[in-house]
A and B are shown apart, each in its own frame.
Chain A
């Protein structure tokens, strides 16, 4: 497969700049629908707001393969109107409150520009400036004449940037999965029935994936996500043994995390495909975290699952960072794997 094209990058930019906090995925849903409709056999928006796309293959004994990418991102929801354009808010999804002060945000359908300010350091009492800010002490400020209402959602106001080998943007988790899945729908191989689930509410408990898997009744599923790369220097100069993933080493294949033990047949199949095709990959360090696969695995009588992620630094913060090449290799690995899938691959469970 060719390098990532400017058109694909432009789509990722549009997806990352869209605001779609868990429960308010409309903006991304609209983009997804527009992109996939010309290529799909069936498209529906389900009761939770998932976009469920079916692209049928043409061969015999086709596997029903569910591919999942979540549309939602972490963000904010306004909870109180303090007057003068100031709003109390809560975070939606896992945001470290230390990433909040001094950041611009976008609020509501019109993307009103606001800021999360901070009491000036000059006025800080004693060791106040050493204490973690609490979300309850902070306000979103839309300026005294600005207006919004409690219940409006917000995100960090980060504009997508393509810098050298990297992408700097908000919501790479999981718009890069959404962009990948859109490409796979557009180029679905004929040997499988591709069941694409663009899901909602992953960041607040894998809710969309749970019902999407119930609806699709797949033979197997792959969750496409972005997983943290903690590949930073360690304070004492010692080797970093706890990096989860590293940028530049290709797609991260999961084998074990808080939400699932990934299906060993699928893990082996992905690894073999990568090796045969000469695609770089890495094993995500076993440990915490999880993806929609955790919910899909438990659907109905159970679904063999595996997760594949584009490694990304600084997820759930105002600005994330990933490598275009890792995305390219993730797309290649997934496409090659789908192309070679047969029912036989699920028979051997040794």
Chain B
């Protein structure tokens, strides 16, 4: 298996907020081009990589959906050199004050900082607790006239934290949700280079998951796979997060279980992981999986769906943390699962044990 770290770090260093995924999409296309037979964009900008199987036609296909969009901020206006902002996706207002950001203007990228104004300059009561996003500013350190000429309402603002490798194969940065899964799917495609697989494979880096699985709905409809696998991140255990929804960091991916997941696929992945001696945890998803799987499952006449997740700490903050080992395990599991799909798999898929 090749070293995924450099590609993963470049995935964490390139913008691609929901609805504006082009920069990261180009990077993914470059990485996937040598690994797939065909590469094409969806009508909404998702990246579709097609890797042909060796089975007899009509060949079934499996779709791997890893969303590539990231959460962030958007400029709503400029006031005396300061930028007003709103959020794109689920941004926690608690992590914003003092946060390093990058403002993407038509001309250039500007480094900046999110500013929490002093209480005396806010409406009564607002400045005492967590200050909500409409009351925050971004300061880019330029004179008001320069800001007025460069920055426009609608400019995107990405988090400015760098991707950093920490001891023990841990990587920290922003947008690990869900670029970690893009890295895992890339590893899967790499592994499939030396593996024969009967099924066709659609690797999809989807757009706008953080908004409402927009990319997954539309790509699944277009590609009409026989099986769908959503690859996403889940909650790792960490400070303040130790409940049943959380899983140890670096101890293996999770296999979703619940109404969004076909139980046969769940069993197949468990058996596979045990055979390969890859550690995993079962993630109970009582209602929604909160992943692209929610869209794939109900596309067209319905698609049996599985959710594979990589535990990360501090999800939706600019200092998320993932274990490279879990990304590698997820990639290997996906490749082995695909290589093991027999031509008559769809005839065997059952609801009962």
Residues of A within 8 A of B (CB): 85-86, 96, 98-99, 101-104, 113-124, 129-133, 137-139, 141-147, 156, 158, 161, 163-168, 230, 232-236, 240, 242, 248, 313-314, 317-319, 321
In the bound complex, what is the Cα–Cα distance between A122 and B139 (angstroms)?
28
Total contacts A to B, CB within 8 angstroms?
194
In the bound complex, what is the Cα–Cα distance between A144 and B126 (angstroms)?
37
Given contacts A104-B162, A235-B117, A319-B100, 10 further A-B contacts (CB under 8 A): A96-B97, A101-B317, A102-B319, A120-B317, A121-B94, A142-B167, A145-B168, A146-B166, A230-B121, A317-B98
Residue B256 CB within 8 A of the other chain: no
Decide if A235 touches B98 in the complex (CB within 8 Å): no
Q: Nearest Cβ distance between residue A146 and chain B, in whole angstroms?
A: 5
Query: When A119-B240, A141-B321, A230-B121 are in contact, do A113 and B164 touch as well, CB less than 8 Å?
Result: yes
Decide if A317 touches B97 in the complex (CB within 8 Å): yes
Of the A-B pairs whose beta carbons lie under 8 Å apart in the complex, a sample of 27, sorted by A's number, is A96-B116, A98-B97, A98-B116, A101-B95, A101-B317, A102-B96, A102-B99, A103-B98, A115-B314, A115-B321, A118-B317, A119-B238, A119-B240, A119-B241, A120-B314, A121-B92, A121-B315, A122-B315, A123-B240, A137-B240, A139-B238, A141-B314, A163-B110, A233-B80, A234-B121, A235-B135, A318-B99
In the bound complex, what is the Cα–Cα distance between A103 and B245 (angstroms)?
24
Kindly supply a per-residue 1/0 record for chain B positions 203-245, scoring 1 wherever the CB is within 8 Å of any chain A CB and 0 otherwise: 0000000000000000000000000000000010011110101
In the bound complex, what is the Cα–Cα distance between A131 and B128 (angstroms)?
10
Decide if A99 touches B92 in the complex (CB within 8 Å): no
> Which of B98, B111, B135, B239 has a CB less than 8 Å from the CB of A139?
B239
Among B113, B141, B146, B166, residue most surrounded by chain A Cβ atoms (within 10 Å): B141
Cβ of A137: which chain B residues have Cβ within 8 Å of it?
Answer: 239-240
Cβ of B317: which chain A residues have Cβ within 8 Å of it?
Answer: 101-102, 117-118, 120
Decide if B95 touches A118 in the complex (CB within 8 Å): yes
Kindly supply a per-residue 1/0 record for chain B positions 111-131, scoring 1 wherever the CB is within 8 Å of any chain A CB and 0 otherwise: 101011110111100100111
Closest to A231 in B: B80
Q: Nearest Cβ distance between residue B265 and chain A, in whole angstroms?
A: 24
Interface size counted on chain B using CB atoms at 8 A: 64
Query: When A122-B90, A143-B321, A168-B141 are in contact, do A98 and B131 touch as well, CB less than 8 Å?
Result: yes
List residues of B (289-317) whose CB comes within 8 Å of A's CBs: 290, 313-317
Cβ of B170: which chain A residues have Cβ within 8 Å of it?
Answer: 143-145
Decide if B243 touches A123 in the complex (CB within 8 Å): yes
Cβ of B255: which chain A residues have Cβ within 8 Å of it?
Answer: none
Decide if A235 touches B122 in the complex (CB within 8 Å): yes
Cβ of A86: which chain B residues have Cβ within 8 Å of it?
Answer: 238-239
Q: Nearest Cβ distance between residue B284 and chain A, in whole angstroms?
A: 14
Decide if B98 touches A318 in the complex (CB within 8 Å): yes
Decide if B139 touches A313 in the complex (CB within 8 Å): yes
Decide if A321 touches B141 in the complex (CB within 8 Å): yes
Cβ of B142: which chain A residues have Cβ within 8 Å of it?
Answer: 163-166
Question: Looking at chain A's contact residues, is the secondary structure mostly helix, strand, loop, or mixed?
Answer: loop
Cβ of A144: which chain B residues have Cβ within 8 Å of it?
Answer: 168, 170, 249-250
Among A99, A114, A118, A236, residue most surrounded by chain B Cβ atoms (within 10 Å): A118
Cβ of A232: which chain B residues have Cβ within 8 Å of it?
Answer: 82, 115, 117-118, 121, 137
Cβ of A85: which chain B residues have Cβ within 8 Å of it?
Answer: 167
Cβ of A114: which chain B residues have Cβ within 8 Å of it?
Answer: 166
In the bound complex, what is the Cα–Cα distance between A313 and B146 (angstroms)?
19
Decide if B318 touches A102 in the complex (CB within 8 Å): yes
Cβ of A240: which chain B residues have Cβ within 8 Å of it?
Answer: 121
Decide if A120 touches B315 in the complex (CB within 8 Å): yes
Cβ of A96: which chain B residues have Cβ within 8 Å of it?
Answer: 97, 116
Kindly supply a per-residue 1/0 record for chain B positions 144-169, scoring 1 wherever the CB is within 8 Å of any chain A CB and 0 otherwise: 00100000000000000110101110
Query: When A102-B317, A117-B238, A240-B121 are in contact, do A123 and B245 touch as well, CB less than 8 Å?
Result: yes
Cβ of B110: which chain A residues have Cβ within 8 Å of it?
Answer: 163
Query: When A118-B92, A146-B168, A166-B141 are in contact, do A235 and B123 touch as well, CB less than 8 Å?
Result: yes
Query: When A163-B111, A233-B82, A314-B115 are in contact, do A141 and B143 touch as well, CB less than 8 Å?
Result: no
In the bound complex, what is the Cα–Cα distance between A318 and B112 (angstroms)?
12
Cβ of A314: which chain B residues have Cβ within 8 Å of it?
Answer: 98, 113, 115, 139
Q: Nearest Cβ distance between residue B48 and chain A, in whole angstroms?
A: 29
Query: When A163-B140, A232-B121, A319-B98 are in contact, do A117 and B314 touch as well, CB less than 8 Å?
Result: yes
In the bound complex, what is the Cα–Cα distance between A118 and B118 (angstroms)?
23
In the bound complex, what is the Cα–Cα distance between A248 and B140 (angstroms)?
15
In the bound complex, what is the Cα–Cα distance between A92 and B218 (angstroms)?
52
Decide if A129 touches B100 in the complex (CB within 8 Å): no
Cβ of A116: which chain B residues have Cβ within 8 Å of it?
Answer: 319
Residue B352 CB within 8 A of the other chain: no
Residue B175 CB within 8 A of the other chain: no
Query: When A130-B129, A232-B82, A319-B113 are in contact, do A141 and B141 touch as well, CB less than 8 Å?
Result: no
Residue B172 CB within 8 A of the other chain: yes
Decide if B113 touches A103 in the complex (CB within 8 Å): no
> Which of A132, A168, A233 has a CB less than 8 Å from the CB of B129?
A132
Q: Nearest Cβ distance between residue A23 and chain B, in whole angstroms?
A: 23
Residue B93 CB within 8 A of the other chain: yes
Residue B79 CB within 8 A of the other chain: yes
